[in-house]
Structure formats: C-alpha cells, structure tokens
Amino acid sequence: RKKVTIGTLRSMHRKGEPISMITAHDFPSAHVADAAGMDMILVGDSLAMVAMGMEDTSEVLVEEMLLHCRSVARGAKSSFIIGDLPMGSYEIDPAQALQTAIRFIKEGRVHGVKLEGGKEMAPTIKKITSAGIPVLAHIGLTPQRSNALGGFRVQGKTAMGAVSVLEDALAVQEAGAFATVLEAVPAEIGEVITKKLKIPTIGIGAGNATSGQVLVQIDMTGNFPPGRFIPKFVKKYGDVWTESMKAIENYRDEVKGRQFPAKEHTYPIAKEELEMFVE
C-alpha cells in the first residue's frame, strides 16, 4: 500500500472521500490497523485507560506516550500516524508545546501531533505548525478537560454552545491545523461545522457528515469484558475479548488435561541419541 501523506489526505478531502482513522497503542494494534487500510492512526492518550488501566487520561506521561508511539510507528508502514500530546505537556505556553511536539517526531517517530482545545490554543497550533509539524486539533468534547466540563458530556447542544464549537473550529483552521477532531456534538452541528470549514473534520460522536471518522480500536473491536461501559457513539464491530477468552480457557483446559502440547508441537530426537542419553 502507498504511504498516506498529508497530500493524500488533502486530495481525499477535496474529492469528498471520507478519511478513516483508528487508534493504536502498540505494535500489533498498529500493524492490523495499517493492514486493514486505515488512512490515519492515532496514538491517542485514551491508551491511558484502555491499555494502561488508568482512571482517566490525565495520568499518562510524555515518556509513556513516546514508548507507545515508537511501537506504533514500527507496526504501521503506510498510515499517517498522529501522536496525542498528553495533559500537561503543551498548555503552559507555545514553546513548551513545540518542545513536546518535537520529541513526538524525533523520539515517537509519528508524523504529526494532536492537542485538545480551540481558540485558546491558536497561538500554540501556529507555533507547532511553523516548525513544520502537522497539527490535528481536537474540539467539542475534550476529555483532558472533563473536570472542567463536568464530565464526558455532549458539547454544542445549545445554540450558544454550538456557536462556541464553531468558533473553535474556525480558530484552529486559521491557526494552521491540517484537520480537527470533532468529538461528541449533535450530528447537525457536525454537518454545519464541516461545511463551514476548508480543513477536514474527523468526527467521533459527531454524526455522518464529517470529513472522516475516528474510533478507539479497543472499543470498536470489542476487546473489553462484557458489561464495561462504552460511549453511545461507539459501534462494536467485533468481539475480540470473547475470542481471546475462549482461546485462553481452551489452553488452560488442555494444559490441565495434558492434551497440550501434542506431538506436532514437540522436537524430535534420533533414537540412537536418545538411547545413548538414557544409558
């Protein structure tokens, strides 16, 4: 497969071809996403929760994100890879953000970075893009700010709220973001904002009219135990957890029953050698 570049993404957007994006957090999850033809892979800080078992994304460190980015970069050879700047690594000032973004490129081996926030992040987006690092913005519901938002809540549900999300969208576009994630807004608002922008919108819980879609891989493949909460916008396309569970239970039973390993899983030795050894 041909390498997806920022030019490829622009051309898809121009033609109205939806951009496909999914998260990955390690070598195998990156490899499968790349092999399945995802245009973009996000090393999202959601990995704090789905891959590290943390309560929320605010706990994950830059060093930890970089380790995951490097693993993803080794696993995905064609997709355009974006690393998520974790909370605390970019908000202080544009210089701090650029410093972190450079680490993501040099050490994380990603092609661009994502950061959360709208109007207030415009100078930061400008600073990072001026260094030649593509920035994917993230507006609407911004999980790193969930304490201030009063939880993981739909944004742009009132006329005033929707205006504010639109202003954020225009601000990040003006600042030089090559695209923006638009999370958890009513579908109609997702459509209007997409129409008003020249850059692509990558929706998650933003309806079907955005320029692309993104989902968290662990959620959409069903790689979590039954009963765990998943947001309304997630479609479960698989049941990986149940498949793994079946395989591991089967293995356990065969170990306990001495059915595994069978002959085909063992190494032979020549009869004479064995006889000599046994003597």
Supply the residues annotated as catalytic: 183
Strands 179-183 and 201-204: parallel
Q: How many CB atoms lie within 10 A of CB 50?
A: 18
Site for ligand KIV contains 72 (CB under 6 A): no
- Confirm or reject binding of residue 23 to ligand KIV (CB under 6 A): yes
Segment 84 to 123, residues that bind Na ion, using CB under 5 A: 84
Positive or negative torsion for Cα 196, 200, 205, 208: positive
Closer to Na ion by CB, 39 or 84: give it: 84
Residue window 35-64: x/- pattern of binding to ligand KIV, with contact defined by CB under 6 A = -------x-xxx------------------
45 binds Na ion (CB under 5 A): yes
Q: Is 216 in the site for ligand KIV (CB under 6 A)?
A: yes
Per residue, what are the HEC states of 54-122? CCCHHHCCHHHHHHHHHHHHHHCCCCEEEEECCCCCCCCCHHHHHHHHHHHHHCCCCCEEEEEECHHHH
- Given the structure tokens 């605390």, which residue do they identify? 88
CB of 277 to ligand KIV, least distance (A): 56
How many other CB atoms are found less than 10 A from the CB of residue 201? 29
Give residue number: closest CB to ligand KIV: 44
Among residues 68 and 103, whose Cβ is nearest to ligand KIV?
68
Q: CB of residue 9 vs ligand KIV: minimum separation in angstroms?
A: 16
Among 40, 66, 79, 84, binds ligand KIV (CB under 6 A): 84
Write the CB contacts of 218 (distance below 8 Å, at least 6 apart in sequence).
23, 25, 29, 50, 51, 224
State the minimum distance, in angstroms, from the CB of residue 214 to ligand KIV.
5
121 makes contact, choosing from Na ion, ligand KIV, none, with CB < 5 to 8 Å by partner type, with: none
Residues of this chain that interact with ligand KIV (CB under 6 A) are 23, 42, 44-46, 84, 181, 204, 214, 216
